[in-house]
Amino acid sequence: MLDKKSLWVFLGLTFGFTIGLTLVARMQGFTLVGKPDMMSQMVIVAAMFIPALSAIFTQKFVAKKSLKELGFKMGSWKDYLKTYLAIVLLFVLNYGFTWLFIQQPDFTLKSFTNLYAPGIALPMPAGSMIALLTVVTFIGAPIMNLIPSLGEEIGWRGFLLPTLEPLGKIKAMILSGMIWALWHTPMIILLGFGYGSQIWPGVLLHFVLVSGLGIWMGFVWFKTRSTILAAFMHATFNANAYGVWAVLFISSDKLIIGPGGVIGSSLCLILGIITIYAMSVQKRISSEI
């Protein structure tokens, strides 16, 4: 049976505190439009812990279940490698298409410095800077991002997905992905998260991107029941979204170029559709045996 009480308490707490935090931040003048300051970015980091806190409260005091059921296990190293490579491939395809058809990368990093540090020289040669950022993107950042990513994944995959499981795995994957996407909307509208002043097209593209990504992550979670793996996937995606790719491909139009642009969102949507199709085929074959 679907535990509607726990579901609504979790969603009420998560969305309520997120909207409240975002409204307060906006009233204090925080914004991610243009060149965001560190405090504005910390608002987003703080919001990432709200789903986990809401899930832990609901799991313990409303559902009255063990916190161990939120998926606190590592899983197989092979799953980490497979999902890591899949996410990197998403970004290779995204920026590969961008390079071929829209914009070439700026290996001099002049576009980056002109936007974020006008008049200030790079601390090292551009080639060395790119090499360092590449190492950080593919090795350091996925590890550093694990804790805030776990803050979200305890909520979305650890709690929400299994709570929706009585509806069926495919429905649970789709709904959890859409709810995860919808949760970002106040931050896009009020703070300009991800898209700056391109708010409403950004809301739509981000909804498509996160829903598709969430479907795939839901499939992996059902396969492994590991929220830590889900956090690693989330951390790896964010590492690439804000890593060396974003430094090489500078554009003010986030609807076209970037992880949440048309190409990136379409790739995640295709990934979600392929995941649903594969599960449907597998389910049909299993029922015929």
Give the start-to-end residue ranges of the domains of the chain.
4-288
The answer to whether 59 and 70 have CB atoms below 8 angstroms apart is: yes
The residue with tokens 């409303």 is 62
**Closest to 259 in 3D by CA, of 202, 216, 180, 178:** 202
pLDDT at position 209, please? 98
Reference 94, options 210, 238, 241; nearest CA is 241
Neighbours of 257 (CB within 10 A): 22
pLDDT in tens, 241-251: 999 999 999 98
Q: How far apart are CA 269 and CA 265, in angstroms?
A: 6
Q: Residue 43's pLDDT is what?
A: 95
The string of pLDDT tens digits covering residues 172-229 is 999 999 999 999 999 999 999 999 999 999 999 999 999 999 999 999 999 999 999 9
Please give the mean pLDDT across all residues of the chain.
95
- For a pLDDT cut of 90, what percent of the chain falls above it? 88
Would you place residue 289 in the very low, low, confident or very high pLDDT band (cuts 50, 70, 90)? low
Q: What amino acid is encoded at 181 in this protein? A: A
One-letter amino acid of 167: L
Beta carbons of 181 and 216 less than 8 angstroms apart? no
Write 103-109 long-range contacts (CB < 8 A, 24+): 103/249, 103/251, 103/257, 105/248, 105/249, 106/248, 106/249, 106/250, 107/248, 109/247, 109/248
118 pLDDT exceeds 90? Answer: no
- What's the whole-number mean pLDDT along residues 70-76? 95
Q: pLDDT band at residue 238, thresholds of 50, 70 and 90?
A: very high
Contacts of 125 (CB under 8 A, 6+ apart): none
Q: What is the pLDDT of residue 117?
A: 78
Lowest mean pLDDT among 29-38, 68-77, 142-151, 159-168: 29-38
pTM listed for this prediction: 0.95
Token couple for 185: 């909307």
Average pLDDT over residues 56-61: 98
Q: For residues 74-102, give the mean pLDDT.
A: 97
